[in-house]
Structure 1
Amino acid sequence: MKIGNVQLENNVCLAPMAGVTDLPYRLLCKEQGCGLVYTEMISAKAVYFNNKNTNLLMQIDEKERPVAMQLFGCDPDLMAEMAKKIVDEHSQIDIIDINMGCPVPKVVNNGEGSGLMKQPGLVGEIVKKVSRAIPIPLTIKIRKGFDDNLINAVEIAKIAEANGAAAVGVHGRTREQYYSGKADWDIIRQVKEAITIPVLGNGDVFTPEDAKAMLHETGCDGILIGRGAQGNPWLFKRIIHYLESGDLLPLPTLQEIVEMIQRHMAMLCAYKGEYTAIREMRKHISWYTKGLPGSANLRRSINQLECFEAIEDKLEELKNMT
């Protein structure tokens, strides 16, 4: 799969997720064969004001490439200026992606994220100015529409293509749905049939079989995996293998799950410091251990722990529960 001049090894990609797709997690997914990783969404305004936390979000490792950095904002000139600044200062970035799907009220109320779905003309202006300001491909990620009264993914995708976008990611839910209900894969098919640039489908891909079904039913060029990858970086390897061979790899063993958690936690501690990492790992451990025997008790006890060694001890107990 190719996006602009960026060649991907495969078409199975890690979707951008705030609070999830930081550098350590992107590296873990890349190790499992993920074809393209996306950063957490980054505010153009925060880049302009040189926000310290935003600088951490923009750290890239050569081993995770190709990588797309996701920007959000609604001022075309500021977006273009900050996209150029980012690319000039971070040569490892391969793609800039514009978030037009975030449903969070504080983002939407500023006219950003999925709030842009209500302003097709502004979408065109942003895409045109940003794509002309940077030497690398520009992509956008949109939703089915804003609500059931405004289903306009096809219109937005056409506008994006006409103004220089190199690919479009489509989440098959409206903003009003957030992540509830069932993703509408038919809207992904409609977008694919309406434009010539690559379309990446997003929504309700939790298994290798889901991935194959989405590709078959929508004709999309690639898959963006979001919540399905939470606590499950192995999903990329399993999907790629299934698409290539038709065979299902086994699910990770308890030993493999615990070892992945331990690696993830160590990487996060090195990246953000122990205090922050331990607190952020709580949600990851909840995802990694979902469905395991005794996982509810494990989560309760880990949520009370505040140091690396104490959590390591708990994880070793879990590993020995076979």
Structure 2
Amino acid sequence: MKAKTNIEDLFKTAKENNTYLKVCAPMVRYSKVQFRTLVKSYGVDLCFTPMILADSFCQNSKARVSEFSTTTKDSPLIVQFAANNVNDFVDATQLLYPYADGVDLNCGCPQRWAMKDGYGSALLSKPELICDLVKGIRSNLPNSFSVSVKIRILKDLKRTIDMCRQMEKCGVTFLTVHGRTPTQKSGEEINADALAEVCKSVEVPIIANGGVKTLEDADRIYERVNCAGVMAASGLLTNPALFSGINITPLDCVRQWMALRDRYADRISFQVYHHHLVFMLEKIMAKQQKPIFNLLKTIDSIDEFLYNHILDKRDSGNINLSCDEFVECVFDDAIVSRHVGKCRGCSKSLYYCICSDKYDASNTDGSYFTSHVKKTACDLDYMDSVGNMFGEY
């Protein structure tokens, strides 16, 4: 078990110092351990993993390998899950408990696939289920382990506040509130007044989220809404040094990312390495350079481009990242075995199936269970089930 950080103490320390936590948002595909390592070197206090589907994580070895990795110093760390039932949420959390400092429930994703399956923003209409999910963590894991919920504000502010108060009573450590409704676009203005009302209506710390592109934006939100933390997403992708007060990605940051690639060559895909650089260099590259860089296909061609157009080979810069060792995660077989397949009748893992009392497996040839399990867990293609998504939820 790697070293732990008490998230509640993290908030207390920031408050005592009259400041706020700088937070890296959960971003699908992008807020993985290498990027978390990078942004922490530029002033980020707390990182989230990308959103992970709790049921797929429990069922699928590919999901566990592709969606979660960590290092010995990857703390403080919150794992964010999309879940729509207590069993999946609790089991997924127990699998990752040794490797994280807390778990977060996604109640903000507005994408259609998530809403259709009862994830993300769909949960905002079911506050009683959200509370059951939070209570499930509180009943099964130590109180020192953080449990939080990320929501969006509703058009009815009173309903938003009532829901936050309910979650507070259920035992959340903190809440993250995105300042837009589920139907608003990412470019629209956040409702800072609504965020301020939420912050003054509950006792637990609130992390404000939405529209943060610079440190000045973060400071402005903190002062206006009196929150305990400020979360950035796309702003950090474009400029991982955002919270250090630098408004354009510094070249040392690019060098740090290249050093991380070299250190973790077998742990970072070409796609992730390239895409992050596309974001980082957005305000650095000339307009005519961007389409050329975007079409590069190899690591070597990327490095050649960077040294020909962006970086000076003679200047090694200031590479001060601590290259931590990866933790080899071992997941509890007893928990994993509960999720070997799903029932088509109730969509739950067969271990928790509410239909099972209608069937006696000992008196059949097993055809019922064979027909109701889509595939074995290892046969599932996790990313096919998620789709080609990008976003911050």
Normalising by the residue count of structure 1, what TM-score does the alignment of the two structures yield?
Answer: 0.85
In 2: Cα distance, 1:250 partner to 1:166 partner: 32
Q: Which moved more, 1:196-205 or 1:46-55?
A: 46-55
Amino acid across the alignment from 1:139: S
In 2: Cα distance, 1:58 partner to 1:215 partner: 31
Aligned-pair CA distance for 1:265: 4.2
Structure with greater contact order relative to length (CA < 8 Å, sep ≥ 6):
2
Q: Is the 2:57–2:63 Cα contact (8 Å) retained in structure 1?
A: no
Among 209, 231, 240, the alignment partner of 1:202 is 209
Q: Is the 2:90–2:136 Cα contact (8 Å) retained in structure 1?
A: yes
The corresponding residue for 1:114 is 121
Q: Is the 2:47–2:78 Cα contact (8 Å) retained in structure 1?
A: yes
The corresponding residue for 1:33 is 43
Amino acid across the alignment from 2:64: T
The corresponding residue for 2:95 is 85
Among 221, 232, 235, the alignment partner of 1:228 is 235
The corresponding residue for 2:130 is 123
Among 292, 303, 309, the alignment partner of 1:301 is 292
In 2: Cα distance, 1:196 partner to 1:169 partner: 13
The structure with more strand, counted as a fraction of residues: 1
The corresponding residue for 1:140 is 149
Cα deviation 1:268-322 (Å, max 9, x = unaligned): 64313xxxx222334322211123351x33331223222111111011112259x
Q: Is the 2:240–2:253 Cα contact (8 Å) retained in structure 1?
A: no
In 1: Cα distance, 2:156 partner to 2:176 partner: 21
Q: Which aligned pairs between 1:1-322 and structure 2 lie closer than 5 A?
A: 3-5=7-9, 11-87=21-97, 91-135=98-142, 136-145=145-154, 148=155, 152-238=159-245, 251-253=248-250, 255-263=251-259, 265-266=261-262, 269-272=265-268, 277-294=269-286, 296-319=287-310
In 2: Cα distance, 1:24 partner to 1:306 partner: 20
Amino acid across the alignment from 1:220: C
Q: Is the 2:135–2:171 Cα contact (8 Å) retained in structure 1?
A: yes
Amino acid across the alignment from 1:299: K
Q: Is the 1:265–1:278 Cα contact (8 Å) retained in structure 2?
A: no
Aligned-pair CA distance for 1:201: 0.4
Q: Which moved more, 1:281-290 or 1:150-159?
A: 150-159
**Structure 1 portions without partners, runs of 5+:** 239-248
Q: Is the 1:201–1:222 Cα contact (8 Å) retained in structure 2?
A: yes
Q: Which moved more, 1:255-264 or 1:194-203?
A: 255-264
SS at the partner of 2:99? coil
The corresponding residue for 1:241 is none
Amino acid across the alignment from 1:190: E
In 2: Cα distance, 1:95 partner to 1:54 partner: 17
SS at the partner of 2:104? strand
Cα deviation 1:132-188 (Å, max 9, x = unaligned): 22221101111112xx46873322211111111010000001111141311112222
SS at the partner of 1:270? coil
Superposition RMSD in Å: 2.4
In 2: Cα distance, 1:299 partner to 1:54 partner: 34
Aligned-pair CA distance for 1:76: 1.6
Check 1:197–1:34 CA distance in 2 against 1; reply closer, same or farther (3 A cut): same
Q: Is the 1:83–1:133 Cα contact (8 Å) retained in structure 2?
A: no
Amino acid across the alignment from 1:63: K
Check 1:144–1:37 CA distance in 2 against 1; reply closer, same or farther (3 A cut): same
Kindly tell me the number of residue pairs found equivalent between the two proteins: 300
Check 1:12–1:204 CA distance in 2 against 1; reply closer, same or farther (3 A cut): same
Q: Is the 1:16–1:70 Cα contact (8 Å) retained in structure 2?
A: yes
Higher gyration radius (CA): 2
SS at the partner of 2:289? helix
Check 1:258–1:38 CA distance in 2 against 1; reply closer, same or farther (3 A cut): closer
Amino acid across the alignment from 1:286: V
Moved runs in structure 1, 4+ residues, more than 4 A?
5-10, 249-253
Check 1:149–1:5 CA distance in 2 against 1; reply closer, same or farther (3 A cut): closer
SS at the partner of 1:305? coil
The corresponding residue for 1:243 is none
Check 1:259–1:151 CA distance in 2 against 1; reply closer, same or farther (3 A cut): farther
Normalising by the residue count of structure 2, what TM-score does the alignment of the two structures yield?
Answer: 0.70
SS at the partner of 1:271? coil
SS at the partner of 2:130? helix
SS at the partner of 1:13? strand
SS at the partner of 2:216? helix
